Structure 1
Amino acid sequence: MPISLKPFATKSCEFTEWSIDVSERERLVGVLAYLYLRQEENAIRIISALSPKKITSRGKVAANVIRKLTAPNPQDLKDLASSDEDVQKKARDRIKTSIYHRDGLLFQHISWIVAKKASPHGIMTSPHVRNADKGFDGFVMELDEFREAIETIILCEDKASEAPRNLITQSVWPEIEAIVDGQRDDEVLAELVTLLKSLPSVDAEDAVETMFWEEARHFRVCVATSEKIRDRKLGNHTKVLDGFETKVTGATKKRVGGVLVFDDVREGLAELAEEVIEKVKELTDV
């Protein structure tokens, strides 16, 4: 497993702090490259310490992946040097947005790897393709031992931020409250039916109809952030998810939280993105 998880006790959720193992970094880069290339089977093979299969990337997949991993856009950097202040301002805004989108999508892929390791038999949505997709960042569905009934649905939110607490309280908690209130049940059910239809042995509509919705629904909130916000007294980042238990009540197992820590989150994700770009080039001969 290229990501190490260190648990910390907290009433808010089942919390772990993540770190990238230096000795496993190359493997992580390989997994991320295959995920971006939409070769999920190869990504899982590397996670499982198996050799990947040779699969040719069609069309402009590799070029598009490299573009998504590149921020800022070279043209925006040129505009930043313009003598026109308005052009400079617009370039700065675009640069900021492109970095946020690049980092957010990259962290979603990292979070997917951790989720896959935690639920190896779970049925999962693939990481997003677009940098700024709206809606849930992922679903993990776990079935009973007969692979017929839904036991758990984990709705995932993944964020990369220098100020994660503000993002959590202003964006994530309101979204979770809306889901708990039932305002997005149609979206959740649509995703579940789509996932279930990939299993020919399961009657998708019957499985959804018979599940115990309130008990089955769990939430997972994960964040990539910087070392500087660590709580020095507690020695961890658990305060980032304070209040989780008030948004999703019930057993602690219904709430999963994780924080991936970099010395500096923007620099850390930028460096990782560059390594994934080089790996994509190596795999695809771009």
Structure 2
Amino acid sequence: MLISLKPADTTECNFSEWKIGNKSRSQLVEVIAYLYLRQEENAQRVINALEPRLRVPKGRVAQNVVRKLTAPHAEDVALLRSGTDAKKEAARKRIRTSIIHRDGLLFQHISWVAARLALPHGYMTSPHVRQADKGFDGFIIELDDSGRDIKRIVLCEDKASKAPRNLISSSVWPEIGTILSGDRDDEILADLVTLLKGVPDIDAETAVDEMFWEGAREFRVAVATGEDQRKAGNFLHIIAGFESVAGGELESRTAGVLAFEDVRQGLALLADEVAAKVEEIADV
């Protein structure tokens, strides 16, 4: 299993603690590399233990991906060492931001893999291309047995943080509140129709029109953080309040936490491995 999910009992949601297995780490790195290269079919083939098809990245795609996986950037490190005081301070801020953006985008890719493993028959949006992209981090759609009607829509929020509880309380819970109030219905429906148009044998607009909106909508919150955030042997305190904010049945709320000894160091190491794999794929 690329990412193992260990469930924990809580009334807040269907909660699980995620773990990247040592034996499957190289396979996970390869999946993420193909996702960054926008080769989702090859990523799925690796997940299914099939040989990926040779597709040479176009233009500067591979170089752009490697830069997104690299933080801090060399020019900012150089300024931090030898620039003026003003330039050092500006470089310090850019370094901090670049690390946060790299980690956030990388964790979105990890979360995509975890979601694909948990819902292998769901239709999912691809991870974002741009760092710090606005909007939802992802959608998952499941159809009913007929394959023509929407059974459920899962709206995903992914966060990588050294202090996740504050981030969840100040950002994710208010975001869910705006969704439940209907303030973002137009954005959600636009993305849903776009995703559904890629599903064979379904009329996207008809499926959306016939959907029971409140009954189909679910939420998934995923967090990457450090082991120092573990309390009383678990991470349940991070998602406290999920039930009161989102409401609905227990099954409509899902959360997971992936813990590293140090979240920044752990994601930096993984980013280096993915960047190396991207370069390897691009050189084939």
Calculate the TM-score normalised by the size of structure 1. 0.98
SS at match of 2:23: helix
AA at the equivalent of 1:129: V
SS at match of 1:6: strand
**Which string of whole-angstrom CA distances, capped at 9 and with x for unpartnered residues, describes residues 82-126 of structure 1?**
352111111110000000000000000000001011111111100
AA at the equivalent of 1:252: L
Counterpart of 1:208?
A: 208
**Bigger shift: 182-191 or 80-89?**
80-89
5 Å matches for 1:128-277? Answer: 128-231=128-231, 233=232, 235-277=233-275
> For the residues of structure 2 that align with 1:200 and 1:30, how far apart are their CA atoms?
28
Identical residues among aligned pairs (%): 60
5 Å matches for 1:5-44? Answer: 5-44=5-44
**Structure 1 runs (4+) greater than 2 angstroms displaced:** none
How far is the alpha carbon of 1:200 from its aligned partner?
4.2
AA at the equivalent of 1:227: E
> For the residues of structure 2 that align with 1:222 and 1:267, how far apart are their CA atoms?
19
**Bigger shift: 81-90 or 248-257?**
81-90
How far is the alpha carbon of 1:199 from its aligned partner?
2.4
5 Å matches for 1:29-178? Answer: 29-178=29-178
> For the residues of structure 1 that align with 2:199 and 2:66, how far apart are their CA atoms?
32
Q: Give unpaired runs (5+ residues) of structure 2.
A: none
Calculate the TM-score normalised by the size of structure 2. 0.98
Task: Provide the aligned length of Structure 1 versus Structure 2.
Answer: 284
> For the residues of structure 2 that align with 1:269 and 1:33, how far apart are their CA atoms?
14
Counterpart of 1:281?
A: 279
> For the residues of structure 2 that align with 1:267 and 1:212, how far apart are their CA atoms?
44
**Which string of whole-angstrom CA distances, capped at 9 and with x for unpartnered residues, describes residues 123-172 of structure 1?**
11000001111000000000011110001000000000000000000011
> For the residues of structure 2 that align with 1:147 and 1:283, how far apart are their CA atoms?
35
> For the residues of structure 1 that align with 2:144 and 2:70, how far apart are their CA atoms?
41
**Bigger shift: 143-152 or 200-209?**
200-209
> For the residues of structure 2 that align with 1:205 and 1:18, how far apart are their CA atoms?
36
> For the residues of structure 1 that align with 2:48 and 2:283, how far apart are their CA atoms?
25
**Which string of whole-angstrom CA distances, capped at 9 and with x for unpartnered residues, describes residues 43-73 of structure 1?**
1111111111111111111001101000001
Q: Give unpaired runs (5+ residues) of structure 1.
A: none
> For the residues of structure 1 that align with 2:32 and 2:200, how far apart are their CA atoms?
29
AA at the equivalent of 1:244: F
**Which string of whole-angstrom CA distances, capped at 9 and with x for unpartnered residues, describes residues 192-236 of structure 1?**
1001111241111111111111110000000000001101x2x11
How far is the alpha carbon of 1:247 from its aligned partner?
0.9
> For the residues of structure 1 that align with 2:3 and 2:197, how far apart are their CA atoms?
31
SS at match of 2:82: coil
> For the residues of structure 1 that align with 2:15 and 2:249, how far apart are their CA atoms?
14
